[in-house]
Amino acid sequence: MSKTADAISSRASAPAAPAPRKSELHDKQNERDHRELRIDKVGVRGLRFPIQVRDKAKTLQNTIATVTLCVDLPKEFKGTHMSRFIEVLNAHGNMVHVENIPDILFAMQQRLNASTSHITMDFPYFLEKKAPISGLAGLMDYGVRFEATATGKEIDFVLTVRTPVTTLCPCSKAISRYGAHNQRGEVTVQIRSRNIIWIEDLIAWVESSASSELYSLLKREDEKAVTERAYDNPVFVEDLVRNVAQKLNGDPMITWYRVEAENFESIHNHNAYACIEKG
């Protein structure tokens, strides 16, 4: 046998060399940080995700939320693990039910070794509204935010609802021979409560506090009715927040609130603003 054949035979009978060990990837986030500064909130923001919200009619409304997920970070850790936030959210399926918010908060605490966790969901909420005279129906959208924080097993929950309205200026009406300037405004109501306060109830309280509510669909006879309603019910931005606050004060379940109103002025190059906070 030739030397070449001997070599081939020898290699064939030799035991196979062990496969090279896969090197472990370095976990940079778990390195020690020496600046001795705790971070209050760290996480992901601007994540869009399907959610389900239960409305007052006891039906489920599907919508899309822009989600923020955060935890606190002790001073000794360099960073958090961003992918784990998404893992926690995805663990609850392809759609988050609002009732699962406490489970998500506690899962973030456990998965990221945190003492506090935060979740914010901003989403459009739709209601069908009928025009005041023609009765034609259209969908109105309102901005809603759920903001929840878990500290240990204690959960703090704030509901925010943004409602567009019409306001007509009492001063303009009083000093003008005819007409009065009016404009669209937005009222932002934030509450903490001992029990469920329906989104629809907050919207109704705000709309009944303004000069007129808004609609997505109006025919000619509806426009006349809305215009005259506003003219008969002028309110300053100060009146608007006070009217809403009075209604919130009448509900013993509400423990804290902040009411903000902003009028997008039609005859000024600035907006009018007012705020009331209680609790």
SS3 for 58-99, per residue? CCEEEEEEEEEEEEEECCCECCCCHHHHHHHHHCCCCCEEHH
Angle of the 82-90 helix axis to the 101-111 helix axis, nearest 10: 140
The model's pTM: 0.86
**Strand pairing class (137-151; 272-278):** unpaired
* Residue 186 identity (one-letter amino acid): E
141: closest CA among 166, 121, 122, 164? 164
Between CA 145 and CA 190 the distance in angstroms is: 9
The pLDDT score that the predictor gives to residue 74 is: 81
Residue ranges of the domains in the chain? 37-278
Between CA 138 and CA 129 the distance in angstroms is: 6
In the predicted model, residues of the chain with pLDDT beneath 70 are 1-23, 25-34
Between CA 61 and CA 198 the distance in angstroms is: 13
pLDDT digits (tens, 9 = 90+) for 128-164: 999 999 999 999 999 999 999 999 999 999 999 999 9
| Superfamily classification of domain 37-278 | Urate Oxidase; (3.10.270.10)
- 215 near 240, Cβ under 8 Å? no
The pLDDT score that the predictor gives to residue 77 is: 76
The token pair at 15 is: 């035991």
